[in-house]
Protein backbone atom coordinates (compact mmCIF):
# COMPACT_ATOMS: atom_id res chain seq x y z
CA UNK A 1 0.00 0.00 0.00
CA UNK A 2 1.29 3.48 -0.89
CA UNK A 3 1.83 6.27 1.52
CA UNK A 4 -1.51 7.74 2.66
CA UNK A 5 -2.48 11.16 1.33
CA UNK A 6 -2.48 13.35 4.41
CA UNK A 7 -2.45 16.69 2.63
CA UNK A 8 -5.89 17.53 4.09
CA UNK A 9 -4.57 17.23 7.67
CA UNK A 10 -3.65 20.43 9.44
CA UNK A 11 0.08 21.06 9.36
CA UNK A 12 2.28 22.58 12.05
CA UNK A 13 0.14 20.84 14.63
CA UNK A 14 0.10 17.92 17.01
CA UNK A 15 -1.90 15.82 14.55
CA UNK A 16 0.03 12.67 13.75
CA UNK A 17 0.03 12.21 9.95
CA UNK A 18 -1.32 8.69 9.95
CA UNK A 19 -4.85 7.74 8.92
CA UNK A 20 -6.47 5.35 11.40
CA UNK A 21 -9.50 3.11 11.03
CA UNK A 22 -11.87 1.80 13.70
CA UNK A 23 -9.81 -1.39 13.87
CA UNK A 24 -6.71 0.46 15.05
CA UNK A 25 -5.67 -0.80 18.51
CA UNK A 26 -5.04 1.62 21.35
CA UNK A 27 -4.19 1.49 25.04
CA UNK A 28 -5.19 4.68 26.76
CA UNK A 29 -6.49 5.69 30.18
CA UNK A 30 -8.08 8.94 31.26
CA UNK A 31 -9.53 9.17 34.78
CA UNK A 32 -9.34 11.56 37.75
CA UNK A 33 -6.19 9.78 38.99
CA UNK A 34 -4.03 10.44 35.89
CA UNK A 35 -0.96 12.59 36.49
CA UNK A 36 -2.18 15.06 33.85
CA UNK A 37 -5.79 15.40 35.06
CA UNK A 38 -7.44 18.46 33.42
CA UNK A 39 -4.25 19.32 31.48
CA UNK A 40 -6.08 19.09 28.13
CA UNK A 41 -8.89 21.40 29.35
CA UNK A 42 -6.27 23.93 30.45
CA UNK A 43 -5.05 24.27 26.86
CA UNK A 44 -8.39 23.87 25.18
CA UNK A 45 -8.73 24.34 21.44
CA UNK A 46 -12.10 22.69 20.94
CA UNK A 47 -13.97 23.04 17.65
CA UNK A 48 -17.70 22.58 17.95
CA UNK A 49 -19.99 20.81 15.52
CA UNK A 50 -23.73 21.64 15.39
CA UNK A 51 -24.85 18.73 17.58
CA UNK A 52 -22.30 19.78 20.25
CA UNK A 53 -24.03 23.16 20.44
CA UNK A 54 -27.43 21.50 20.91
CA UNK A 55 -26.15 19.35 23.80
CA UNK A 56 -24.26 22.18 25.50
CA UNK A 57 -26.99 24.82 25.22
CA UNK A 58 -29.54 22.34 26.56
CA UNK A 59 -27.24 21.38 29.44
CA UNK A 60 -26.65 25.03 30.30
CA UNK A 61 -30.32 25.91 29.71
CA UNK A 62 -29.43 28.69 27.29
CA UNK A 63 -30.71 29.72 23.90
CA UNK A 64 -28.34 29.09 21.00
CA UNK A 65 -27.75 32.85 20.70
CA UNK A 66 -26.81 33.18 24.36
CA UNK A 67 -24.64 30.06 24.32
CA UNK A 68 -22.76 31.21 21.19
CA UNK A 69 -22.22 34.65 22.71
CA UNK A 70 -21.08 33.47 26.16
CA UNK A 71 -19.15 30.29 25.38
CA UNK A 72 -17.81 30.40 21.83
CA UNK A 73 -15.55 32.33 19.50
CA UNK A 74 -15.79 32.22 15.71
CA UNK A 75 -13.04 30.86 13.51
CA UNK A 76 -12.66 30.55 9.77
CA UNK A 77 -12.90 26.89 8.83
CA UNK A 78 -11.56 27.18 5.30
CA UNK A 79 -10.30 29.52 2.63
CA UNK A 80 -13.90 30.17 1.46
CA UNK A 81 -14.56 31.90 4.76
CA UNK A 82 -16.98 29.35 6.21
CA UNK A 83 -17.37 30.20 9.87
CA UNK A 84 -17.30 27.62 12.64
CA UNK A 85 -17.13 28.05 16.40
CA UNK A 86 -14.68 26.99 19.10
CA UNK A 87 -15.16 26.90 22.84
CA UNK A 88 -14.14 30.17 24.44
CA UNK A 89 -11.27 30.04 26.94
CA UNK A 90 -10.12 32.39 29.68
CA UNK A 91 -6.88 34.36 29.40
CA UNK A 92 -4.91 31.34 30.64
CA UNK A 93 -6.45 29.25 27.81
CA UNK A 94 -8.57 27.26 30.31
CA UNK A 95 -11.92 26.08 29.01
CA UNK A 96 -14.70 28.09 30.71
CA UNK A 97 -16.51 24.82 31.43
CA UNK A 98 -13.63 23.29 33.40
CA UNK A 99 -13.68 23.04 37.20
CA UNK A 100 -10.98 21.72 39.55
CA UNK A 101 -13.00 18.48 39.71
CA UNK A 102 -13.09 18.12 35.93
CA UNK A 103 -15.54 18.95 33.18
CA UNK A 104 -18.72 20.66 34.45
CA UNK A 105 -20.70 19.46 31.41
CA UNK A 106 -19.18 15.97 31.25
CA UNK A 107 -22.36 14.15 30.15
CA UNK A 108 -22.81 16.63 27.32
CA UNK A 109 -19.18 17.41 26.50
CA UNK A 110 -18.41 18.02 22.81
CA UNK A 111 -17.41 15.28 20.39
CA UNK A 112 -13.83 16.62 20.14
CA UNK A 113 -13.41 16.22 23.94
CA UNK A 114 -14.83 12.69 23.77
CA UNK A 115 -12.48 11.71 20.96
CA UNK A 116 -9.35 13.31 22.40
CA UNK A 117 -6.51 12.32 21.91
CA UNK A 118 -8.01 11.05 18.66
CA UNK A 119 -10.18 12.82 16.14
CA UNK A 120 -12.64 12.18 13.33
CA UNK A 121 -11.78 13.21 9.80
CA UNK A 122 -14.28 13.25 6.91
CA UNK A 123 -12.59 12.82 3.55
CA UNK A 124 -13.92 12.94 0.00
CA UNK A 125 -11.41 12.07 -2.68
CA UNK A 126 -11.78 13.99 -5.94
CA UNK A 127 -12.99 11.04 -8.02
CA UNK A 128 -14.98 9.29 -5.27
CA UNK A 129 -18.80 9.39 -5.22
CA UNK A 130 -19.05 9.06 -1.44
CA UNK A 131 -17.06 10.37 1.48
CA UNK A 132 -15.36 8.27 4.11
CA UNK A 133 -14.74 8.67 7.81
CA UNK A 134 -11.28 8.07 9.16
CA UNK A 135 -9.53 8.92 12.37
CA UNK A 136 -6.27 10.49 13.43
CA UNK A 137 -4.20 10.76 16.58
CA UNK A 138 -3.19 13.90 18.44
CA UNK A 139 0.15 13.78 20.21
CA UNK A 140 0.57 16.46 22.84
CA UNK A 141 3.22 16.63 25.50
CA UNK A 142 0.73 17.27 28.30
CA UNK A 143 -1.39 14.16 27.71
CA UNK A 144 0.02 11.22 29.69
CA UNK A 145 -2.88 8.82 29.20
CA UNK A 146 -0.71 6.52 27.06
CA UNK A 147 1.82 6.01 29.85
CA UNK A 148 1.75 2.80 31.80
CA UNK A 149 1.95 4.55 35.17
CA UNK A 150 -1.50 5.99 34.51
CA UNK A 151 -3.17 2.72 33.54
CA UNK A 152 -5.77 1.18 35.85
CA UNK A 153 -5.86 -2.61 36.49
CA UNK A 154 -8.76 -2.82 34.01
CA UNK A 155 -7.01 -0.80 31.28
CA UNK A 156 -6.50 -3.02 28.26
CA UNK A 157 -5.85 -2.68 24.59
CA UNK A 158 -9.05 -1.96 22.67
CA UNK A 159 -9.93 -0.95 19.13
CA UNK A 160 -10.64 2.65 18.23
CA UNK A 161 -14.19 1.53 17.40
CA UNK A 162 -14.64 0.23 20.97
CA UNK A 163 -13.09 3.42 22.36
CA UNK A 164 -15.68 5.47 20.44
CA UNK A 165 -18.43 3.46 22.16
CA UNK A 166 -16.97 4.00 25.65
CA UNK A 167 -16.92 7.74 24.97
CA UNK A 168 -20.52 7.88 23.69
CA UNK A 169 -19.38 9.53 20.50
CA UNK A 170 -21.49 7.53 18.04
CA UNK A 171 -24.60 9.64 18.63
CA UNK A 172 -22.57 12.80 17.99
CA UNK A 173 -21.16 11.45 14.75
CA UNK A 174 -24.65 10.40 13.64
CA UNK A 175 -26.04 13.94 13.88
CA UNK A 176 -22.87 15.73 12.75
CA UNK A 177 -22.24 13.58 9.70
CA UNK A 178 -24.58 15.52 7.39
CA UNK A 179 -22.83 18.71 8.47
CA UNK A 180 -19.43 17.21 7.61
CA UNK A 181 -20.91 16.15 4.26
CA UNK A 182 -22.20 19.67 3.57
CA UNK A 183 -18.74 21.07 4.29
CA UNK A 184 -17.09 18.49 2.04
CA UNK A 185 -19.61 19.15 -0.73
CA UNK A 186 -19.09 22.90 -0.44
CA UNK A 187 -15.35 22.34 -0.59
CA UNK A 188 -15.47 20.04 -3.60
CA UNK A 189 -18.22 21.97 -5.48
CA UNK A 190 -17.34 22.86 -9.07
CA UNK A 191 -16.20 26.33 -10.11
CA UNK A 192 -19.76 27.27 -11.14
CA UNK A 193 -20.80 27.12 -7.47
CA UNK A 194 -17.76 29.26 -6.69
CA UNK A 195 -16.90 31.11 -3.51
CA UNK A 196 -19.92 31.33 -1.23
CA UNK A 197 -21.48 34.77 -0.86
CA UNK A 198 -21.68 36.40 2.57
CA UNK A 199 -25.44 35.73 2.39
CA UNK A 200 -25.03 32.00 1.97
CA UNK A 201 -22.41 31.92 4.78
CA UNK A 202 -24.92 33.63 7.07
CA UNK A 203 -27.63 31.13 6.19
CA UNK A 204 -25.19 28.28 6.71
CA UNK A 205 -24.25 29.53 10.17
CA UNK A 206 -27.84 30.10 11.28
CA UNK A 207 -29.17 26.72 10.11
CA UNK A 208 -26.38 24.73 11.76
CA UNK A 209 -25.24 26.59 14.89
CA UNK A 210 -27.84 29.20 15.74
CA UNK A 211 -30.86 26.92 15.81
CA UNK A 212 -33.17 28.99 18.02
CA UNK A 213 -32.85 31.83 15.58
CA UNK A 214 -33.40 29.40 12.69
CA UNK A 215 -36.56 28.16 14.44
CA UNK A 216 -37.88 31.72 14.67
CA UNK A 217 -37.03 32.25 11.04
CA UNK A 218 -39.00 29.14 10.01
CA UNK A 219 -41.99 30.38 12.03
CA UNK A 220 -41.88 33.83 10.46
CA UNK A 221 -44.51 34.82 7.89
CA UNK A 222 -41.64 35.51 5.48
CA UNK A 223 -40.45 31.89 5.51
CA UNK A 224 -44.00 30.55 5.42
CA UNK A 225 -44.75 32.70 2.38
CA UNK A 226 -41.91 31.11 0.44
CA UNK A 227 -41.86 27.47 1.57
CA UNK A 228 -44.67 24.98 1.54
CA UNK A 229 -43.80 23.19 4.76
CA UNK A 230 -45.66 20.08 5.86
CA UNK A 231 -47.57 20.83 9.13
CA UNK A 232 -46.27 17.64 10.78
CA UNK A 233 -42.64 18.59 10.09
CA UNK A 234 -43.32 22.13 11.25
CA UNK A 235 -44.68 20.86 14.61
CA UNK A 236 -41.78 18.45 15.03
CA UNK A 237 -39.10 21.07 14.49
CA UNK A 238 -40.77 23.41 16.97
CA UNK A 239 -40.36 20.80 19.70
CA UNK A 240 -37.19 18.94 18.86
CA UNK A 241 -33.77 20.54 18.27
CA UNK A 242 -32.37 17.44 16.57
CA UNK A 243 -35.30 17.39 14.10
CA UNK A 244 -34.67 21.12 13.57
CA UNK A 245 -30.98 20.47 12.83
CA UNK A 246 -31.85 17.71 10.37
CA UNK A 247 -34.32 20.05 8.67
CA UNK A 248 -31.52 22.66 8.59
CA UNK A 249 -29.31 20.25 6.64
CA UNK A 250 -32.15 19.73 4.11
CA UNK A 251 -32.74 23.46 3.85
CA UNK A 252 -29.03 24.10 3.23
CA UNK A 253 -28.84 21.51 0.44
CA UNK A 254 -31.60 23.53 -1.24
CA UNK A 255 -30.19 26.99 -0.54
CA UNK A 256 -26.54 26.17 -1.20
CA UNK A 257 -26.70 23.56 -3.93
CA UNK A 258 -30.09 24.08 -5.58
CA UNK A 259 -31.33 20.58 -4.65
CA UNK A 260 -35.10 20.57 -4.28
CA UNK A 261 -35.59 19.23 -0.76
CA UNK A 262 -38.46 21.49 0.38
CA UNK A 263 -41.35 22.57 -1.82
CA UNK A 264 -41.45 26.31 -2.49
CA UNK A 265 -44.45 28.46 -3.22
CA UNK A 266 -42.92 29.46 -6.51
CA UNK A 267 -45.30 32.34 -7.14
CA UNK A 268 -44.32 33.91 -3.87
CA UNK A 269 -40.64 33.43 -4.67
CA UNK A 270 -41.02 35.17 -8.04
CA UNK A 271 -43.19 37.97 -6.72
CA UNK A 272 -41.04 38.75 -3.69
CA UNK A 273 -37.78 38.51 -5.56
CA UNK A 274 -39.18 41.01 -8.14
CA UNK A 275 -40.47 43.34 -5.43
CA UNK A 276 -37.26 43.32 -3.52
CA UNK A 277 -34.81 43.63 -6.41
CA UNK A 278 -32.33 46.36 -5.62
CA UNK A 279 -33.86 47.06 -2.21
CA UNK A 280 -32.33 44.13 -0.36
CA UNK A 281 -28.82 45.10 -1.41
CA UNK A 282 -29.13 48.66 -0.11
CA UNK A 283 -30.60 47.47 3.15
CA UNK A 284 -28.03 44.73 3.54
CA UNK A 285 -25.19 47.22 3.00
CA UNK A 286 -26.70 49.56 5.56
CA UNK A 287 -26.89 46.69 8.07
CA UNK A 288 -23.29 45.73 7.39
CA UNK A 289 -22.16 49.31 7.90
CA UNK A 290 -24.07 49.52 11.16
CA UNK A 291 -22.44 46.32 12.35
CA UNK A 292 -18.98 47.21 11.09
CA UNK A 293 -17.22 45.86 14.17
CA UNK A 294 -18.99 42.53 14.04
CA UNK A 295 -18.26 39.73 11.65
CA UNK A 296 -21.51 39.56 9.64
CA UNK A 297 -21.19 35.86 9.06
CA UNK A 298 -21.17 35.19 12.77
CA UNK A 299 -22.98 37.84 14.74
CA UNK A 300 -26.61 36.81 15.02
CA UNK A 301 -27.64 40.38 15.77
CA UNK A 302 -26.57 41.68 12.38
CA UNK A 303 -29.68 40.86 10.39
CA UNK A 304 -33.40 40.93 10.78
CA UNK A 305 -35.48 38.00 9.54
CA UNK A 306 -36.65 39.96 6.54
CA UNK A 307 -33.13 40.63 5.34
CA UNK A 308 -32.23 37.02 6.05
CA UNK A 309 -35.14 35.90 3.90
CA UNK A 310 -33.95 38.04 1.03
CA UNK A 311 -30.39 36.81 1.47
CA UNK A 312 -31.62 33.25 1.59
CA UNK A 313 -33.62 33.75 -1.60
CA UNK A 314 -30.64 35.29 -3.33
CA UNK A 315 -28.35 32.46 -2.18
CA UNK A 316 -30.90 29.93 -3.39
CA UNK A 317 -31.30 31.65 -6.75
CA UNK A 318 -27.52 31.65 -7.18
CA UNK A 319 -27.30 27.98 -6.25
CA UNK A 320 -30.11 27.06 -8.66
CA UNK A 321 -28.47 29.00 -11.50
CA UNK A 322 -25.13 27.32 -10.78
CA UNK A 323 -26.79 23.91 -10.63
CA UNK A 324 -28.54 24.53 -14.00
CA UNK A 325 -25.22 25.58 -15.53
CA UNK A 326 -23.64 22.36 -14.26
CA UNK A 327 -26.47 20.30 -15.76
CA UNK A 328 -26.17 22.05 -19.13
CA UNK A 329 -22.48 21.15 -19.40
CB of 58 to ligand SF4, least distance (A): 14
Site for ligand SF4 (CB under 6 A): which residue of 143, 180, 252, 255? Answer: 143
Q: Which of 25/142 has CB closer to ligand SF4?
A: 142
Please report whether residue 196 would count as binding ligand SF4 according to CB under 6 A. Answer: no
CA distances from 229 to 128, 205, 232, 237, 301 (A): 34, 21, 9, 11, 26
Please report, as residue ranges, which positions from 216 to 235 form the binding site for ligand SF4 (by CB under 6 A).
Answer: none
Please report whether residue 39 would count as binding ligand SF4 according to CB under 6 A. Answer: yes
Site for ligand SF4 (CB under 6 A): which residue of 41, 203, 244, 322? Answer: 41
Site for ligand SF4 (CB under 6 A): which residue of 15, 16, 20, 37? Answer: 37
Please report whether residue 182 would count as binding ligand SF4 according to CB under 6 A. Answer: no
Q: Which residues pair with 89 in a beta bridge?
A: 95
E-assigned strands of the chain? 15-20, 25-26, 47-48, 72-76, 83-87, 98-99, 102-103, 118-123, 132-138, 158-159
Please report whether residue 302 would count as binding ligand SF4 according to CB under 6 A. Answer: no
Contacts of 102 (CB under 8 A, 6+ apart): 32, 37, 38, 41
Is the previous residue joined to 117 through a cis bond, with omega within 30 degrees of 0?
A: yes
Question: How many other C-beta atoms are found inside a 10 Å radius of the C-beta of residue 63?
Answer: 16
Q: Which of 143/303 has CB closer to ligand SF4?
A: 143
Instruction: Measure the CA angle with vertex 171, ends 168 and 175; round to 5°.
Output: 150
CB of 221 to ligand SF4, least distance (A): 38
Please report whether residue 145 would count as binding ligand SF4 according to CB under 6 A. Answer: yes
Site for ligand SF4 (CB under 6 A): which residue of 67, 71, 115, 116? Answer: 116
Q: Which of 109/215 has CB closer to ligand SF4?
A: 109
Q: Which of 19/98 has CB closer to ligand SF4?
A: 98
CB of 45 to ligand SF4, least distance (A): 9
Q: Which of 78/170 has CB closer to ligand SF4?
A: 170
Site for ligand SF4 (CB under 6 A): which residue of 93, 101, 142, 174? Answer: 142
What are phi and psi for residue 239, nearest 5 degrees?
A: -100, -20
Rounded distance, CA 291 to CA 304, Å? 12
Please report whether residue 180 would count as binding ligand SF4 according to CB under 6 A. Answer: no
Strand 83-87, strand 72-76: pairing: antiparallel
Q: Which of 104/294 has CB closer to ligand SF4?
A: 104
Rounded distance, CA 108 to CA 136, Å? 22
Q: Binding mask 92-111 vs ligand SF4 (x if CB under 6 A, - otherwise)?
A: ---x-xx----x-x---xx-
CA distances from 274 to 65, 98, 225, 266, 267 (A): 32, 52, 15, 12, 11
Residue 125 is classified by DSSP as: -
List interacting residues with ligand SF4 (CB under 6 A).
Answer: 30, 34, 36-41, 44, 46, 87, 95, 97-98, 103, 105, 109-110, 113, 116-117, 142-145
Amino acid sequence: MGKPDVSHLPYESSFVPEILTQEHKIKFACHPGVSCFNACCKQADVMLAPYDVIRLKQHLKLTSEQFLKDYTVPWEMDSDGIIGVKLKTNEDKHCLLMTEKGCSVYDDRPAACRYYPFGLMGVKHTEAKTDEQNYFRIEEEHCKGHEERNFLPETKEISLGEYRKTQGVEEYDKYNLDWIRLMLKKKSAGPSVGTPSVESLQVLFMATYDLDRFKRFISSPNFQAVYDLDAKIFDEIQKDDVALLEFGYRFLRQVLFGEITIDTKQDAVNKRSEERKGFWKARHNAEMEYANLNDPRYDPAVMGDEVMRDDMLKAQEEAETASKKDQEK
